[in-house]
Structure 1
Amino acid sequence: MAPAYALVLAVAVTAPLLAPGYLLLRDAVSTPRSFLTDAALGLTQAAPRALPQDVAVALASSVLDGGVVVKALLILGIWLAGWGAARLAAAMLPDAGLAGQCVAATVAIWNPYVAERLLQGHWSLLIGYGALPWVAASVLALRSSPGGVGGVGAVLFWTALAGLTPTGLMLAATVALTCAVAPGSGWSRRVCAAVGLAAAITAALPWLVASAVAQGWSPGADQGAAIRAFAARAEPGLGTLGSLAGLGGIWNADAVPPSRTGLFAVVATLVLLAVVAAGMPVLIRRRVGVPLLALAVTAVAVPALMATGPGLATIEAVIEAVPGLGVVRDGQKWVALAMPGYALAGAAAVVALRPRVPAVATAAVCCAAVIATLPDLAWGVGGRVRPVEYPAAWREAAAVIDADPAPVAVLPVDSMRRFAWAGSAPVLDPLPRWLRAEVLSTGDLSIGGHTVPGEGVRAREIQALLLAGADRDRLAAAGVRWVVVEGSGVDLALPVAFRDGELTVYRVGGDSPSSPHRGIVLAAHGVWLAQLVVGLGAMMVWRRRLRGTDRRDEHVEGPERRDQ
């Protein structure tokens, strides 16, 4: 019943995505087909933040339309969050029953974090988010009673799934190490921590290897401005700490559901925290949930500190020392670490109130209150998360370039676009994920009228040539074969290969060699994929054996019961 209930909630949130079309909203970009370009492998002058996500989508889209792949994975991630929270509650609080599992699933799915990350287009981060309660349950199972190869397989699989992005992997590794210190009589804390750490390291190989062998990239100039722009945001009446405690506070005020833009956010936050607070005494008494509660408190407090003056200065110093840690600057996304503890506390509320209130009544009130205080999460966050269709010109232009794939420069120079056919929200340029060729992108972002420079130094140099009116020979010498102008109003003195009201493709003729490191990066992705497949297989075999053991036990106990 709990998986079905979680699926109902997930579909209620993502229902518009069941229609044909492509998810194209801010950072979410899906296209009919993606390819294993150097950019997809993290081998260009940009930090490899989308590995192994881009490779996974490229492989899957060779079999199934890329729009279907991304939408299916997003729905799966949200469903797994609710189902995993219910599974975690069933394992840690069996006396909470189905009622407690439903509360846990509701807390995991129906919250501002899910709404805001949907509106920001972080579909792959939500897959990592959905894997967190499964990682917690897997490691806690090893701590309570060793599951052998199957238990390790579960940790390997859920960690690899969360590792679809570096952020998801870091979240999963943190949850695994936290649960490794929980009390238990199974495998030792050191062994469980070693299993979790080893799973994280192997799952991280795609972006670790890409970072080591890719062309030199820098964090970009003016990191202080970028860090300030990505700091957690205070909601009305709550302040930064209160917003984060309510699982809200994303940096982008435009990626927020309307119900969180006024004082009603205070009511919603108080309701969520009341549900969590009601169950905390039960978890504290039973000790097993204490590490997850401590992690939840830390996941709220640390991002709040990161948004202060000293916190911003510390993050800037860390990123300047280790440019690859630029992933930490979006402080609010780490609030995902609070979800397993919040969900478990929600389930414990049923146990805490059972002496005075029936479990079904407690669950009904808690679930209804959490849903009612975030009503606009339903139907794609009030219809804002919905699929769109590309104009025919995009397919035609892509066919021209894919017939002779080589580096592509793009105008306008901004990484974000606004297309009338894609809605009012900006979106990352889809071209880099559509073409078989490398698309030169600076990674520059415009936030609140301020441009945050990206790492694409070569792309910035070529864009400067374009804006200065460089001729065909200079562009070809710089290694550009194609120039694409998205929209109208720009006419270049270059040979036209395709023209439409949406796009113009110019043929230049230059070229540049592919990275010599493609093989080693593909091998690293092979390790990640093997971990995913082997972990899933071991986990399924283990669970099948457990079910078989339970049936044999029931068969043996049956005659004994009849003799009594």
Structure 2
Amino acid sequence: MTAGDRTGRGLWDRIAPAVWSLGVALLVVGPLLGPGYLLLRDAVSTPRSYPTDAALGLGDAAPRAVPQDGLLAAVSPLVDGGLVVKAILVAALWAAGWGSAVLARRLLRVSLGPQLVAATLALWNPYVAERLLQGHWSLLTGYAALPWTILAAHRIRYSVPPSTESAAGRGESARAWAALGSWLAVAGLTPTGALLAGVVAVIAVGRRRIAGALILSIAASAPWLVATALSGAGAEPSDPGGIAAFAARAEPGLGALGSLAGLGGIWNGDAVPGSRTTLFALAATLVLLAIVATGVRSVAAAGDPATRPVRRALLVLAAAAVALPALGATGWGLHIGEWLVTRVPGAGLLRDTQKYVALAMPAYTLCAAAGCRAVAGAIGKRVTDVDVLPLAATVFIVLPVITLPDLAWGVGGALRPVHYPPGWQHVAAAIDGPGDIAVLPAGMFRRFPYSGRVPVLDPAPRMLPRDVLQTGELPVRGRVVAGEGTRAREVEQALLRGGPPGELAARGIGWVLVERTTPGPLGDSANTLSHLESRYIDDDLALYRVPDPADTRAPGHAAHRSLALAAHLLWALLLLAGPLLRSIARRTKSAAPERESAP
């Protein structure tokens, strides 16, 4: 093999994981790529979003969707919001696979076959399937950022010069820290993603640089931290009933521990692929754990000693990410969780414990890659005249796919675009005055004729230009978990008992929207609506105007919005810092020979 052949092969070995990961990502989300919008359980994409108080996290409810909603509000006037969400989801899945392949190459020095094994396992597992079915597209962005965050932190730990006295050293240090900040910001599209990436950054960056990683993690979390402090939602206790409702769920043939070890066990038994609803889940989990087990020893002990501490730390993190949510589903674990959410501000963020199983993914993919190489090496000692690594890699790739066949093509077709009726745009255009919006029927979830059979979050808060009041109450496992805040609940009760319009106006309501094609309680709201001016009506929607709504905003509302916007701007700058500094460095490097050769 010539030097050119080796160079070409090395280049292909680096490109192939990216191409492979993109192909697998497209296979997973395939149906969603057609025209239309993502509207599935918690996922809501709309043509246009608005920078309302709720989008900035300043509403009554806890800021669980910032800076996600703020980003869409900023971008959707320029690019269709549905297209933006699809692009982010595809990019996230692509990055998850590609990043896992690069992580295996950097930490284990494995060849192409094991890299593809790592990429496949990162994309083709129950965690990805269940979170897609639950509509957690932005959480998957945090999931995808984990391997890249580890790589950035590892670079700081081992590659950044200890002394930055020279200009080159300072530049290298700045680029490394900016890259870490960018990946933390990518993960920080949701609060949970920020926590996930912050944990792996602290683990991988080394003790001497933990302070810097923590500062960047806080900056990446600024939108929801600032919103929590300003809105006061974080100071309010969460419903302790949410701990049991959102606890990890045991799958058939598996306890909670086994389900979590298999990267499954989401609380919502309806957001699960069909193959995980039978005893086939037991077989699939055993296969996954067998794949991981083949590489644990290599990840823990073999390879470059410089990367061994990070690899061992990731193994410990994976064990904790499985064990702690399993303990949280036990009787005493539930009691501890209930105590936390009623006494510790912001602890409600931890109630869906299965989300944190994502922290096991980096170690699982490393073990799969190492196991593929180890198995091929063991067989190769007996079959010396055949390169068995490609065959071993093929088997390691095929096994996760055949044990979760319904992840393909939109998780069995569940992930498909919907088309909103034109009335939504007419309603948005008709809202031309002050006041927040109340919605009917009561509740946050809808079943529209165009949205399919499963309940979906009401798109009104992201579709309309004024704040839409929602109670935050969630029906989970036959119970209702209360939300934060009281104004939305008071408004909803006033409508259901047919209260006078003045009662709504006193609470800042200027509009009432009736979504006419979805089931739900209406109570005696017809009495209230009969006294209101109709502004728009069709077969799907009816909009009414409430006269003279009171301004219920706090005296410091404008200052609060400015601070929330500043926090979002900080997040955006952090997001862009890494690519910008890298681009500048490349331009400077390419321009240097020209300057040197100039007369």
CA distance in 1, matches of 2:146, 2:65: 19
Distance 1:144 1:348 in 2: 22
1:321 to 335, 338, 343: 343
Contact 1:276 1:349 in 2 (8 A): yes
Residues in 1 aligned to 2:571 and 2:243: alpha-carbon distance in whole angstroms: 30
Separation (CA, whole Å) in 2 of partners of 1:217 and 1:342: 34
- Aligned equivalent of 1:529: 572
CA distance in structure 2 between the aligned counterparts of 1:285 and 1:354, rounded to whole angstroms = 18
- Within a 5 Å distance, the mapping from 1:57-72 to structure 2 comes to 57-72=72-87
Does 408-417 or 539-548 show the bigger shift? 539-548
Structure 2 counterpart of 1:295 = 317
Partner in structure 1 of residue 226 of structure 2: 209
Partner Cα distance (1:543, 1:175) in 2:
28
Partner of 1:446, secondary structure, is strand
Q: Distance in 2 between matches of 1:376 and 1:529?
A: 36
Distance in 2 separating the partners of 1:42 and 1:102: 39
- What does 1:172-211 correspond to in 2, within 5 Å? 172-181=197-206, 189-191=207-209, 193-211=210-228
Amino acid paired to 1:499: I
Of residues 242, 246, 253 in structure 2, which corresponds to 1:237? Answer: 253
> Quick one: structure 1 residues 219 and 233, their matched pair in 2 at CA, closer, same or farther if it must change by over 3 Å?
farther
Counterpart of 1:145 in structure 2 is 159
CA contact (8 A) 2:260 2:322 kept: yes
Is 1:434–2:456 an aligned residue pair?
Answer: no
| Pair 1:142–1:456, CA change in 2 (3 A) | same
Please tell me whether residue 159 in structure 1 is matched to residue 175 in structure 2: no
1:185-234 deviation per Cα after TM superposition (whole angstroms, max 9, x unaligned): xxxx321x22321110111111111111115576566x232110100000
Match of 2:492 in 1: 463
Instruction: Give, as a single letter, the amino acid of the residue that structure 2 aligns with 1:335.
Output: V
The partner residue of 1:267 within 278, 283, 288 is: 283
Distance in 1 separating the partners of 2:591 and 2:412: 45
The one of 500, 509, 516 equivalent to 1:480 is 509
What one-letter code is carried by the residue in structure 2 that aligns with 1:520? L
Q: Does structure 1 conserve the Cα–Cα contact (< 8 Å) formed by 2:122 and 2:361? A: yes
Which residue does 1:119 correspond to in 2? 133
Moved more, 137-146 or 334-343: 137-146
| CA distance, structure 2, for counterparts of residue 220 and residue 321 of structure 1 | 7
Q: Is the 8 A contact 1:482 1:508 kept in 2?
A: yes
Unaligned runs of 5+ in 2: 1-15, 161-171, 303-307, 381-387, 594-599
* Pair 1:307–1:546, CA change in 2 (3 A): farther
Offset at 1:343? 0.7
Q: Counterpart of 2:421?
A: 391
Q: Distance in 2 between matches of 1:136 and 1:548?
A: 31
> Which residue, out of 267, 281, 284, partners 1:251?
267
- How far apart in 2 are the matches of 1:247 and 1:38? 36
Determine if contact 1:415/1:444 at 8 Å carries over to the other structure: yes
Residues of 2 paired with 1:218 and 1:281: CA distance?
45
* Correspondence for 1:496: 534
Deviates more, 1:470-479 or 1:380-389: 470-479
Classify the secondary structure of the residue corresponding to 1:481: strand
2:185 and 2:92 map into 1 onto residues whose CA distance is: 13
Measure the CA separation in 1 of the matches of 2:419 and 2:159: 50
Deviates more, 1:306-315 or 1:333-342: 306-315
Does the residue aligned with 1:40 lie in a helix, a strand or coil? helix
- For residue 2 of structure 1, the aligned residue among 5, 8, 17 is 17
Task: Report the Cα distance in structure 1 between the residues aligned to 2:590 and 2:191, rounded to whole angstroms.
Answer: 34
Name whichever of 442-451 and 114-123 sits farther off: 442-451
1:116-143 C-alpha deviation (Å, 9 max, x unpaired): 0000000000000000000011111222
CA–CA distance in 1 between the matches of 2:591 and 2:341? 51
Q: For 2:21, what is the secondary structure of its paired residue?
A: helix
The answer for the alignment partner of 2:9 in structure 1 is: none
Supply the distance in 2 between the matched residues of 1:250 and 1:543 (Cα, whole angstroms): 44
- Aligned pairs for 1:127-138 (under 5 A) are 127-138=141-152
Counterpart residue identity of residue 537, structure 2: R
Structure 1 residue matching 2:94: 3-state secondary structure: helix
CA shift for structure 1 position 513: 5.3
Q: Which amino acid aligns with 2:196?
A: L
User: 1:184 matched to which residue of 2?
Assistant: none
Q: Summarize the Cα distance change of 1:503–1:220 in structure 2 as closer, same or farther, 3 Å threshold.
A: farther
Q: Is the 8 A contact 1:26 1:121 kept in 2?
A: yes
Within 1, Cα distance between the matches of 2:419 and 2:230?
37
The alpha carbon displacement at 1:543 in A equals: 7.3
Cα separation, 2, equivalents of 1:170 and 1:215: 20
Work out whether 1:36 is the aligned partner of 2:51: yes
C-alpha distance 130-386 of structure 1, shift in aligned 2 (>3 A) = same
For residues 318 and 220 of structure 1, the distance between their equivalents in structure 2, rounded to whole angstroms, comes to 9
SS at match of 2:536: strand
Distance 2:242 2:566 in 1: 33
Alignment correspondent of 1:79: 94
Q: Which letter maps to 2:217? A: A
Shift of 1:544: 7.9
Distance 1:333 1:353, change over 3 A: same
| 1:236-280: CA deviation from partner (whole Å, max 9, x where unpaired) | 011100000000000000000000000111111111111111111
SS at match of 2:499: coil
The residue type paired with residue 31 of structure 1 is T
Aligned partner of 2:572: which letter?
L
* Counterpart residue number, 1:227: 243
- What is the aligned residue count? 539
Distance 2:349 2:27 in 1: 31
Change beyond 3 A, Cα 1:13–1:144: same
1:512 paired residue number: 551
Deviation by residue 1:370-427 (Cα, 9 ceiling, x = unmatched): 11110000000000011100012222112211x3353101111211111121000111
- On the 8 A contact 1:45/1:217 being kept in 2, the answer is no
Counterpart position of 1:445: 474
Residues 240 and 341, structure 2, Cα contact 8 Å, conserved in 1: no
CA distance in 2, matches of 1:271, 1:522: 47
1:337 to 338, 359, 365: 359
Preserved contact between residue 406 and residue 480 of structure 1 (Cα < 8 Å) = yes
Question: How far apart are residue 441 of structure 1 and its match?
Answer: 0.8
1:209 aligned partner, one-letter code: V
Secondary structure of 2:338's partner? helix
Q: Give the alignment's TM-score, normalised by structure 2.
A: 0.87
Partner AA of 2:276 in structure 1? R
Q: Could you say if the C-alpha distance between residues 545 and 115 of structure 1 is closer, same or farther in structure 2, counting changes exceeding 3 Å?
A: farther
Show CA shifts across 1:272-296 (max 9, x none).
1111111111111133411111111
TM-score for the superposition, normalised by structure 1: 0.92
User: For each residue in 1:135-181, what CA deviation from the matched residue of structure 2 results, as whole angstroms up to 9, or x when unmatched?
Assistant: 01111122222252222121111001000111000000111112134
CA distance in 2, matches of 1:173, 1:398: 38
Distance 2:551 2:199 in 1: 41
Determine if contact 1:112/1:248 at 8 Å carries over to the other structure.
Answer: yes
Query: 1:135–1:155: 8 Å Cα contact kept in structure 2?
Result: yes
Distance 2:347 2:333 in 1: 15
- Report the CA distance between 1:495 and its aligned residue: 1.9
Pair 1:248–1:219, CA change in 2 (3 A): farther
For residues 74 and 363 of structure 2, the distance between their equivalents in structure 1, rounded to whole angstroms, comes to 35
Aligned CA-pair RMSD: 1.9
Given residue 466 of structure 2, which amino acid in structure 1 is its aligned partner?
A
**Structure 1: 4+ residue segments shifted above 6 A:** 543-549
The gaps in structure 1 that reach 5 residues or longer are 182-188, 552-564
- The residue that corresponds to 2:597 in the other structure is none
